[in-house]
Every structure is written in structure tokens, then in C-alpha cells.
Structure 1
Amino acid sequence: MPVLFFAAVAGFFAMALRSGDPSLLPSTLVGKQVPQGVFPPIEGLESANGKPEVGFTSADLAKGKVSVVNYWASWCMPCIEEHPFLVKLKSMADVDIYGINYKDRADAARRFIGRFGNPYTAVGTDAQGRAAIDWGVYGTPETFIVNGKGQIVYKHVGPISEAALTSKLLPAIEKARTAAGSIASGP
């Protein structure tokens, strides 16, 4: 009897895990300013020209240009799957992508970027995961579209796929740009 009970409960959990769309998880931050924070650089990470990466702050996300914030980690298998789509997003949308390396070791993060490439305009760290709580991050990867005023306008939970790139992220970026243009040229 206990074995049957356990099997039934395990079956329900398995069905729940497979049937849900993680991108439908609600975010109370959509429409609000990005949480204030400083994302220090990954120790020892250098840009393509050999200069040390400097990290970024939340103020960098409110400089008038639509941007993308991507939480990732070297130990995250879905982050590896989505990485080529971040590279593609950078070229297709001409946006600044800010990477936040989540609860990772600096050497592992450097290896990840060295192996898969660096699509990020700036890369910072959230070594303890404190900022992720403020951002409402459920787990990596998660991606946010931020308008030029520093407000979150869209949140994508889970890895970016080709379908998500074309049907969700690119339209959200374009909508944020259009909204910014209509505000700038208002009456």
C-alpha cells in the first residue's frame, strides 16, 4: 500500500513538471523599475581587447536604450542550451545584453564565456544570490527586457529557444522601443 501511494504521488509530480510552461510564471516586477543593485565584475574576466570587464549597476539599465538582462550560471545546463540564442538576439535586435552570473565561481564563469562566447555588453556577478531575490528570479536562466527608463517590461523564465526568441523576446523588445518612441515624440 505505501508503495502504491508513493507511486501515485510521484506520478502527479511528474505530470505537473512536464505540463507547465515556466514562462507563464507571474512577475510582480513587470512595469516597475529594476531593483537597485551593483553587479561587480567576474574576477579575471577580460574583454576581447584584453581590458578587464567592469561589471555594471542598475543605473546602466536606465540610459534611454532598451536592454536585456540575463541571469545565467556555468553549472546551468539550460543556460548552455540558450547561449547561442543570446548571441543571435544580440545581432538580430541590436540591444545591450547585461549578464548576471548567478552563484558561480569566477573560474567556472570565465571558462563558460571562453568556451561559448560573450554576447554580453557587460557581465556582473550575484555570487550570494541576494540580487536575484530582489529581481524575483526563480532559477537560471531568466531573461528580462528593460525599457530605456529602467523599467522591466517583460520577463522570460527558462531557456531562450528559437520559438521564444522570435515569438516573445523580439516582439517585446520592439514593443518597448515603439513605446519609448511614442513617449519621446509625444504631443
Structure 2
Amino acid sequence: MSAPASDDASRRQRWLMALPLVVFAALAAIFWFALGDGDPSRIPSALIGHPAPQTPLPPLDGLASNGAAIPGLDPTVFKGKVSLVNVWASWCVPCRDEAPLLTELGRDSRLQLVGINYKDSTENARRFLGRYGNPFRIVGVDANGRASIEWGVYGVPETFIVGREGTIVYKLVGPVTPDNINTVLRAEIDKALKAGS
């Protein structure tokens, strides 16, 4: 009679050892389905519909356009204009890939492009804009990353659309690409432009 009791105890022990693995797999499946298909650009932002952070940022030293210094970020610039805010860094490889697309968007006179330079050295940031072009009318330096936390940034690059009322209306996690610039970003920009007119 002791053999069946020992088999039951052995089975119970195996089940208890496997239980943490089963619980982990179940939680992983729940998180996977809760976040959609795992596409990080679809991560929702709690800031959508809320005012853009009111954190002023200093300008990037030595950065100029047509002989005039490019200003840092003053949060009052968001009132009355549709703005595209791009968080970037010179060390960010996808930022290099999206640079020509941001330059293309910068030609649209209906909106202003604002750059937030994230945890970068001044020299490297200026060199990056010199090499890949500067689409920004405003460049604020977020040297310690505090402002990016207030914007809810997961990692660079990220792009936000701020409406004329100074409210964040859209967030793109990851780089601007040839696919999402035409299928998503331009449509969201047009929505923001129509909303305030």
C-alpha cells in the first residue's frame, strides 16, 4: 500500500515544482494579449488628451539657422500651432534613419517641428544635425532625461503631435518610417490641423 501513496506524493511534488512555470506562462500570455500584437508603436500613452509638459529646456549651444540661434523649448510655443515633437539622440541608430523623413515633414509650413535632444553631448548632437540635416525650428536639450520622463518617453526615438491648444493628440513610439509616415503620421497631423481650424 505504500507504493501508491509514494506515487501520489511524487506526482504532487512534480506538480508543485511545475506550478511556477505554469503561472509564469499564463501571465506572459495575458500580458502579450493585453498589449496587442507586441508592436511597441501601439503602446498607449496616458498623456493623450492632456497638456504637453510645461518643462522648459535650454537650447543646444552653438546651433544656428540662417545666422540666428535656434531657441530652446519654451512650453508656450505649443499654443496656437500644431507641433511635431521628436525625441532624438545622436547615438540612436533609428534616429539617423528617420532624419530624412523629419526633414520632409519640416517643409510643411502648417506645423512646427520641435526637437528634444535626449541625454546627448552638445558636440555629438550638433554634429548629428550637421550631417543629417536639422528639420527643427526649436531644439531643447534634455541632458538628464527628466523632461523625457514627463513626456512619457519609453526610449528614443519617439514622436508626439501637439494640437493648437497645447494638448498631446498622438504619440508614435519608435522611428518615423516610410510606412508609418504615410499611413499614420500624416493622417494624425491632418486631424490635428483640422481640429483647430
Would you say same fold, with TM above 0.5?
Answer: yes
Q: 1:88 aligned to 2:97?
A: no
Match of 2:129 in 1: 113
Matching residue within 38, 51, 55 for 2:68: 51
After TM superposition, the score normalised by the length of structure 2 is 0.79
Q: Which residue of 2 aligns with 1:126?
A: 142
Indicate the SS of the match to 1:120: coil
The answer on whether the counterparts of 1:93 and 1:170 sit within 8 Å (CA) in structure 2 is: no
TM alignment of 1:13-162, pairs within 5 A: 20-47=38-65, 49-62=66-79, 64-92=80-108, 94-162=110-178
* 1-structure distance, mates of 2:71, 2:187: 30
Counterpart residue type for residue 165 of structure 2: K
CA contact (8 A) 1:55 1:123 kept: yes
Runs of 5+ in structure 1 lacking a partner?
1-11, 182-187
CA distance in 1, matches of 2:41, 2:109: 20
Of structures 1 and 2, the larger Rg is shown by 2
The whole-number CA distance in structure 2 between the counterparts of 1:20 and 1:121 is 34
- Post-superposition shift, 1:93? 6.7
Q: Which runs of 5+ in 2 are unaligned?
A: 1-27
Supply the distance in 2 between the matched residues of 1:57 and 1:99 (Cα, whole angstroms).
12
Deviation sequence 1:131-151 (CA, Å, 0-9, x none): 011100000000000001100
For 1:29 and 1:105, locate their aligned partners in 2 and report how far apart those are by CA, in whole Å.
28
**Separation (CA, whole Å) in 1 of partners of 2:63 and 2:193:** 31
C-alpha contact 2:82 2:163 (8 A) present in aligned 1: yes
Runs (4+) of structure 1 exceeding 4 A deviation are none
Q: In structure 1, how many angstroms separate the alpha carbons of the residues matched to 2:59 and 2:108?
A: 26
Q: Matched residues in 2 for 1:21 and 1:60: separation?
A: 32
Whether the 8 Å CA contact 1:76–1:141 is kept in 2: the answer is: yes
Q: Kindly, what percent of the aligned residue pairs are identical?
A: 50
- Calculate the aligned-residue CA RMSD, in Å: 1.9
- Higher RCO, 1 vs 2 (CA within 8 Å, ≥6 residues apart): 1
Shift of 1:114: 0.5
The range that moved more, 139-148 or 87-96, is 87-96
Task: Classify 1:111/1:58 alpha carbon distance in 2 versus 1 (closer, same or farther; 3 Å).
Answer: same
